[in-house]
Amino acid sequence: MRIVKGGLTLALLVATGLTGAIVTYGQEPSRPPVPQTDTTTIDPDGTAHVTRVVPVPGTISPEAQKFIGRQVNSSSGDGPENLAQRRKGTDAFRTSRSAEARHLYPVNVEEQTMGGVRCDVITPLSIPSDKRDRVLINVHGGGFVSDSGSLVEGIPIANLTKTTVISVYYRLAPEHPFPAAVEDTVAVYKEILKKYKPRHIGLFGTSAGAILTAEVSADLKREGLPLPGALGIFSGSGDLSQAADSEALYTIVGFGGALEPPSKHPESDPYIGSTNPKDPVLSPLYSDLHGMPPALFITSTRDLLLSGTTILHRAYLRSGDDAQLVVFEALPHAFWYDYHLPETKEALGIMAGFFDAKLGP
């Protein structure tokens, strides 16, 4: 992750998924002439060297067109952020965006400890009688090393579904690599099982939280524990052993910003630690996915985890599972963190509708 300084017109922290960045939008910096034609060269090993001129599509809302059209400064004299700087930035983002969420989607929030793990219990202002026996568990994004999504993800869904959401503050890498986050989430799930039937429990997350959702489900199945009633895998992956195609094409803001080539050494990832990257829980693509709960996958065409999301979705389909996939046009990774886009309202509505439909009576 890199801190980028520049114009102060608008600053947006995008801290989701496997990485994060603070980017600024404002006056366009001076830059050398850019190619105005499409070019492609393919190496003998299949590596592609590509230049594309990609216009802003008219197939998305005017708000989304402005959103992806913002100039993102892609360099910084300060160099890459360290872990402390990243966590400070994501903490500030989470605080600001959570306050916005509570204004737009009113709820009550209370901190509790479940299974020895700190959680936030997000409760709608009113819960219909037919929804009081169900609950949703949210695991946040932030690349497993920071927390960009607690409350940011859970508040809108609690409000829209009129269902209590438990947001889990799982332990973070590098201090606590895999399987710490899985263990914490499973501990919360076991505690919730004491009060709720499995088919009335949903589990969901964005980015790192989407990956964790799939991992926890694989772990529960391996341990012979009852599976939840529904899964929400919103911009994730099921294979941490190798980078997928979209990670070589997009940054967390789509085409903007500096692109870091995918690592050829997954074992260097602080979350993976000393675990075999093809461990069937760490990378559920290599586990037995037969009998997984109904799952909703959401991504977008400029999402760096587009490939990872669709690959895992296909694996669910091959296993005979009930798996739905929704791909939004042109938007970047975890765009639903920006509440003002019409596409965000649509995405949140799809998520809420899925849980309403799948969490059984």
- Residue 320: CATH number of its domain: 3.40.50.1820
Domain that holds residue 353: 93-358
* Structural domain contains residue 178: yes
Residue 3 has pLDDT above 50, yes or no: no
What 3-state DSSP class applies to 23?
A: strand
Pairing of strands 201-206, 230-234: parallel
The pLDDT-based confidence of 80 (bands split at 50, 70, 90) is low
Whether residue 143 contacts residue 19, with contact meaning beta carbons closer than 8 Å, is answered with yes
The pLDDT-based confidence of 85 (bands split at 50, 70, 90) is confident
Whether residue 202 contacts residue 136, with contact meaning beta carbons closer than 8 Å, is answered with yes
The pLDDT-based confidence of 91 (bands split at 50, 70, 90) is confident
> What is the spatial order of strands in the sheet that 323-332 belongs to?
107-114, 117-124, 164-168, 135-139, 201-206, 230-234, 295-302, 323-332
* Structural domain contains residue 311: yes
Place of tokens 């799939």: 214
Interaxial angle between packed helices 208-222 and 180-193, expressed in degrees from 0 to 180 and rounded to the nearest 10 = 70
Rounded to an integer, the average pLDDT of 239-264 is 88
* Structural domain contains residue 168: yes
Residue 298 has pLDDT above 50, yes or no: yes
| Tally of structural domains, the chain | 1
* Structural domain contains residue 56: no
Whether residue 90 contacts residue 83, with contact meaning beta carbons closer than 8 Å, is answered with no
Rounded to an integer, the average pLDDT of 100-104 is 95
| 3-state helix, strand and coil shares in percent for the chain, rounded to the nearest 5 | 30, 20, 45
Residue 38 vs residues 31, 35, 41, 51, 254: alpha-carbon distances, Å: 19, 8, 11, 5, 18
* Structural domain contains residue 259: yes
The pLDDT-based confidence of 347 (bands split at 50, 70, 90) is very high
* Structural domain contains residue 52: no
pLDDT in tens, 144-166: 999 987 899 999 999 999 999 99
* Structural domain contains residue 321: yes
Buried b (16+ CB within 10 A) or exposed e, 31-70: eeeeeeeeeeeeeeeeeeeeeeeeeeeeebbeebeebbeb
Q: How far apart are CA 186 and CA 180, in angstroms?
A: 10
* Structural domain contains residue 180: yes
Q: How far apart are CA 334 and CA 142, in angstroms?
A: 11
